[in-house]
Amino acid sequence: MNNKLFLIFVMTLFSLQKSNSQTMSNSVIPITTATGTITTCPFITSDANGKVVMSFGKEIKGETAILCYAFFDEKLKIFGQPIEIPSSKGVELHGENAPKMLFKPNGEIIAVWGIDNPTPKKKYGGLIQYSQSFDEGKSWTPATQLVKDTAGIDQRYFDIDLLPNGEAAIIWLDNRSKTDLQGSSLYYAETRGKNGFQNEKSIGETTCQCCRTDLYIGKNGVIYTAYRDIINDEIRDMVLSYSSDNGKTFSEPKRISPDDWKINGCPHTGPTMTQNKEGLHFAWFTMGGGAGVFYANSADNGNTFSKRNSVSDNPSAKHPQITVVNDKDVVIVWDETAEIEGNYFNRIGLQRRAKNGEIVTTSFVSEDNVMATFPIIKTLNDSEVLVAWSQGSKEEKVCYKIVRLEKEPKSNTTKL
């Protein structure tokens, strides 16, 4: 083969490889294709070495639901074979109360999930359980109940994060309220070595009973908690509380936005937050002063907040999740209902914002005419994010997609 033909061959091969790579990155991939198997409730984290891990619930007809997890292959851009956590059998599969995993720097893995606990006092009550692995997932401890107090009959809507000292922190909604006002209590606990979660305490009252909470450990070591609060016994708006002394005390909650949403019920869609060098960023659903998903930020550690602006004014938009890319850009995902030629379906939206919150682009990453709900998002590198969600109605499957971001924001961005 002469040099000219060889050069053409190499260029053609490179072009095909590049095209295939783009096709792989832009395609929607199910976590498993096994028929008769339901997978749902995805959650994405990283192990102690920075490798991306997705956990999810799996249910086969006639069998008990179980929590699984899989590692992401950065070269192939796909997740590997799912691994089951035996002690999680009986896990409740609920998108707003999704199971979660955390990898401590010392190699310990912690899996946390909810189970049903209906009682005469709490018909739809639940409990939180967890299991630990000290040998890289080869074996797991028996399921341990988070709350030992027999008065605790309902614990749900939890979140976990890694503390600067390498321990794990958890917050959750609890029935053990210290007030006669309606709502649940927000509780907090931390792990202590191999002894699991210890020293639980109440850090907030009058929380909306069925919206997920958000726990975020800031770059400065501040422990941030966001949740839907019941204000003056009738308004259900998002608030922020934080601890600057390693969880010893928490600030009084402040409203992220004065939406003044008056509703005697729970919308089952909680807040999300992240942080970049500009400050804290938030997204949430409300029907106060307009319905949809909204965004705000705070440049002073949550003392004041920017005026909210719309992420999606579709009144069905809900379940937002947020992340930061390269300590700059903010990326938000959510689900909403759409219609094409009389066919209604749920789609996953994705919005990229500049570091100060200016809107850059808005798009939809799921396929049309499918039911896609409860998205989550994880930054892979400076130009890619991983988005996963639950898809389907008859046989739900966890699906994921790698979304490539533009290197520079477009000039015609929509400002706050």
* Band (408; pLDDT cuts 50, 70, 90): low
Cα–Cα distances in Å, from 132 out to 135, 142, 188? 9, 8, 19
Question: What is the per-residue pLDDT across 28-66, written as a single tens digit (0 to 9) for each?
Answer: 999 998 889 999 999 999 999 999 999 999 999 889 999
CA distance 412 to 171: 40
CA distance 200 to 151: 14
In percent, how much of the chain has pLDDT > 70?
91
CA distance 152 to 158: 15
A 10 A CB-CB count for 196 gives: 17
Residue 23 has pLDDT above 80, yes or no: no
- Report whether 136 contacts 80 (CB < 8 A): no
In a domain, 282, yes or no: yes
Average pLDDT on 256-266 reads 95
Joined together, the tokens standing for residue 414 give 């929509």
Nearest Cα residue to 30 out of 348, 335, 346, 366: 366
- List the CATH number of the domain containing 318: 2.120.10.10
In a domain, 13, yes or no: no
pTM for the model stands at 0.91
Question: What is the per-residue pLDDT across 119-150, written as a single tens digit (0 to 9) for each?
Answer: 998 998 999 999 999 999 999 999 999 999 99
In a domain, 66, yes or no: yes
Strand, coil or helix: 13: helix
Question: What is the per-residue pLDDT across 56-91, written as a single tens digit (0 to 9) for each?
Answer: 999 998 899 999 999 999 999 999 999 999 999 999
Q: How far apart are the first and last CA of the chain?
A: 59
Question: What is the per-residue pLDDT across 385-394, written as a single tens digit (0 to 9) for each?
Answer: 999 999 998 8
In a domain, 190, yes or no: yes
pLDDT of res. 44: 98
In a domain, 50, yes or no: yes
Q: How far out from the chain centre does Cα 3 lie?
A: 53
The tally of domains found in the chain comes to 1
Q: Could you tell me which residue, 267 or 21, shows the higher pLDDT?
A: 267
CA distance 366 to 84: 27
pLDDT of res. 407: 64
Nearest Cα residue to 42 out of 56, 24, 30: 56
Q: Give 169's contacts (C-beta < 8 A, 6+ positions apart).
A: 160, 161, 162, 163, 188, 189, 190, 191, 215, 217, 223, 247
Residue 251 has pLDDT above 70, yes or no: yes
Residue 406 has pLDDT above 90, yes or no: no
Question: What is the per-residue pLDDT across 308-337, written as a single tens digit (0 to 9) for each?
Answer: 999 999 999 999 999 999 999 999 999 999
CA distance 322 to 315: 19
Range of the domain at 77: 28-404
In a domain, 21, yes or no: no
* Percent helix, percent strand, percent coil in the chain, to nearest 5: 5, 50, 45
In a domain, 235, yes or no: yes
In a domain, 411, yes or no: no
